[in-house]
Chain A
């Protein structure tokens, strides 16, 4: 088991990018694919795409992000890759429908982002589960699923949904 404790750089740092590019040819770059959720863990057991077991134990004050490099040695590099999240994109057919959909998503503690007249819901489980939960809104036509949405504008923020109880 490889024990990794530090973030040594970022795949986009110019000199690191160059080294990774070289090493890629020798097949010694290993990637750890993480969901957005697992990205926020400081300590976890993970496996790289080449099957190396890794005990990841970072300082409480540090945080992983997409491209974080955990090891950069002549013979091996390990970096973290964010498994891109899946979204369910909803549109509303009326202001009333939009209010209801927004209220409902908040009540469910779903992570959402607002994109003009669309509500993007981050799927943290099977898409069907979310559709089932939304069935009352969908059946009444208050909301609709937008199947092939355009990519969202850059810089759309995640919103933590506040709640009162």
Chain B
């Protein structure tokens, strides 16, 4: 059999998946829900976080005890978080390469962007696939506003669904409008405080970029 058709061919280096979204929408909370699930399914995983001028999110993930602290790298982005994931992802690329070198069997690197606005998006030089996390409490008109992140991401995650009744948000309408502006590309609902809906996110990422089954 030719090497080309080897059914066990493995990718060289880990898949890289971006998690973007506005400030406080629940990106780190989603990370904290994803990490144990990927570990439970046997995925060799590492994390990169992006913060403005601190390593706040990296420290939080390291302290969580969910993952070996040395598998969490922090990138400081300065004042312009989307530059580090789109126009000039050099620092994030270097961090991801470093993880690939340090952990030869690494299968997945999750990259959390610094909290930004609805227009932020990931360069496909940096990631293979990216999620955009928005927050129910931001209002059910968010999808309708057609921010670049909402339109272009591979998977839209609408988080904090538990808050919908408290902020008078019509979740059904939010989902159907997201579906409409995204031309049918996928949207999933989560409550990252408790983990509801996160299994489906894991499933989707595995299906699109892990190819390990």
Partner of B4, one of A43, A55, A73, A124: A73
B211 at the A interface (CB under 8 A): yes
- In the assembled complex, the Cα of A165 lies from the Cα of B83 at a distance in Å of 9
Counting chain B CB atoms within 10 Å of each CB, which of A55, A60, A129, A162 scores highest?
A60
User: How does the 8 Å CB contact mask read for A80-119 relative to B, with 1 for contact and 0 for none?
Assistant: 0000000000000000000000000000010000000000
Q: Tally of A-B residue pairs with Cβ under 8 A?
A: 61
Q: Name the residue on A nearest B207 (C-beta).
A: A45
Contact A109 B183 (CB under 8 A): no
Residues on A with C-beta less than 8 A from B119 are 109
**Residue B151 at the A interface, CB < 8 A?**
yes
Task: Tell me the smallest distance from the CB of B80 to a CB of chain A, in Å.
Answer: 7
Which residue from A1, A2, A41, A160 sits with its C-beta under 8 Å from B128?
A: A41
Asked if A42 CB lies within 8 Å of chain B CBs, one says yes
Q: Which residues of A contact B4 (CB under 8 A)?
A: 4-6, 8, 71, 73
- The answer to whether A3 touches B7 (Cβ under 8 A) is yes
A70–B60 alpha-carbon span in the complex (Å): 42
Q: Looking at the complex, which one of A55, A124, A162 makes contact with B211 (CB distance below 8 Å)?
A: A55
Chain B 78-93, CB-CB to A under 8 Å as 1, else 0, gives 0010000001000000
The reply to whether A37 and B124 form a contact with Cβ atoms under 8 Å apart is: yes
For residues 113 through 165 of chain A, which have their beta carbon under 8 Å from a beta carbon of chain B?
124-126, 129, 160, 162, 165
**Contacting pair A1 B146 (CB below 8 A):** no
Binding site secondary structure of chain A: loop
Does residue A17 face the partner (Cβ distance < 8 Å to B)?
Answer: no
Known: A1-B211, A109-B119. A43 touches B128 (CB 8 A): yes
Q: Is the CB of A59 within 8 A of B12?
A: yes
User: A125 contacts which chain B residues (CB < 8 A)?
Assistant: 151, 183
**Is B208 within 8 A of A45, CB to CB?**
yes
Question: Is A22 at the interface (CB under 8 A from chain B)?
Answer: no
Q: Say yes or no: B6 contacts A3, CB within 8 Å.
A: yes
Does A40 count as interface, using CB distance less than 8 angstroms?
A: yes
Closest to A59 in B: B12
Residues in chain B near residue A40, CB distance under 8 A: 124-125
**16 further contact pairs, Cβ within 8 A, besides A57-B12, A165-B80:** A4-B4, A4-B9, A5-B4, A40-B124, A40-B125, A42-B128, A44-B129, A45-B208, A45-B211, A55-B211, A73-B4, A124-B152, A125-B151, A126-B183, A129-B146, A162-B87
Residue ranges of B at the interface with A (Cβ–Cβ < 8 Å): 2, 4-13, 15, 80, 87, 97, 119, 124-125, 128-129, 146, 148, 151-152, 183, 207-209, 211
25 interchain pairs (CB within 8 A)? A3-B7, A3-B8, A3-B211, A5-B4, A5-B9, A5-B11, A5-B12, A37-B124, A41-B124, A41-B129, A43-B129, A44-B128, A44-B209, A45-B208, A55-B211, A57-B12, A59-B13, A73-B4, A73-B5, A109-B119, A125-B151, A125-B183, A129-B146, A162-B87, A165-B80
